[in-house]
């Protein structure tokens, strides 16, 4: 299969996912939506295995790694700043009024998610460091 066909099929899968998502929201069926996402990811993975052309090389892997790290760094700072601002503003209680408690809870949850994201990053960083020996001692 050609890479162009692969991308067309990915677009078709995404279109089906949007349709299932809309149906799931209308009928209040979150399990259908969750199952559809898992099935869509598995279908995309299977279709990618059928591509004959080179989809990724060392250069694309390096670009993806750099983009992922920058995304993690920028969104981590933005989400933490947003959460911290939500906590500070909601604790005063003047801006959000009766919703201040809910805003504070959401902001603390968002902070927890940011910290969890950092922890997962550190775990993967140490995993790959051990696997590839990037930070280990030099062998001569």
Using alpha carbons, list the distances in angstroms from residue 18 to 3, 31, 57, 96, 102. 23, 15, 30, 33, 29
Are both 70 and 100 inside the same structural domain? yes
Instruction: Print pLDDT tens along the chain (140 aa).
Output: 888 888 899 999 999 999 999 999 888 888 999 999 999 999 999 998 888 876 677 888 888 889 888 988 898 899 999 888 888 887 776 666 777 778 888 888 999 999 998 899 889 888 888 888 765 555 54
Supply the pLDDT for residue 98.
72
Range of the domain at 22: 3-49
Supply the pLDDT for residue 140.
46
Residue 140 located in a structural domain: no
Provide the number of structural domains found in the chain. 2
CA 22 to chain centroid, in Å, comes to 21
Are both 67 and 120 inside the same structural domain? yes
Are both 44 and 77 inside the same structural domain? no
Residue 22 located in a structural domain: yes
Are both 120 and 65 inside the same structural domain? yes
Are both 74 and 94 inside the same structural domain? yes
Using alpha carbons, list the distances in angstroms from residue 76 to 2, 62, 113, 135. 37, 21, 9, 24
Supply the pLDDT for residue 59.
83
Are both 128 and 66 inside the same structural domain? yes
Are both 43 and 76 inside the same structural domain? no
Residue 138 located in a structural domain: no
């Amino acid at each position: 299969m050609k890479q162009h066909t692969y991308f067309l099929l990915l677009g078709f899968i995404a279109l089906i996912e949007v349709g299932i998502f809309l149906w799931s929201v209308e009928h209040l069926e979150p399990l259908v939506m969750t199952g559809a996402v898992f099935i869509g990811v598995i279908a995309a993975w299977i279709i990618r295995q059928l591509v004959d052309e080179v989809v990724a090389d060392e250069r694309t892997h390096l670009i993806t790694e750099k983009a992922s790290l920058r995304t993690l760094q920028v969104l981590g700072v933005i989400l933490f700043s947003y959460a911290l601002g939500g906590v500070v503003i909601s604790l005063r209680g003047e801006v959000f009024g009766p919703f201040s408690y809910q805003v504070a809870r959401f902001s603390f949850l968002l902070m927890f998610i940011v910290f969890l994201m950092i922890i997962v990053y550190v775990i993967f960083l140490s995993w790959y460091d051990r696997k590839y020996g990037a930070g280990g001692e030099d062998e001569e």
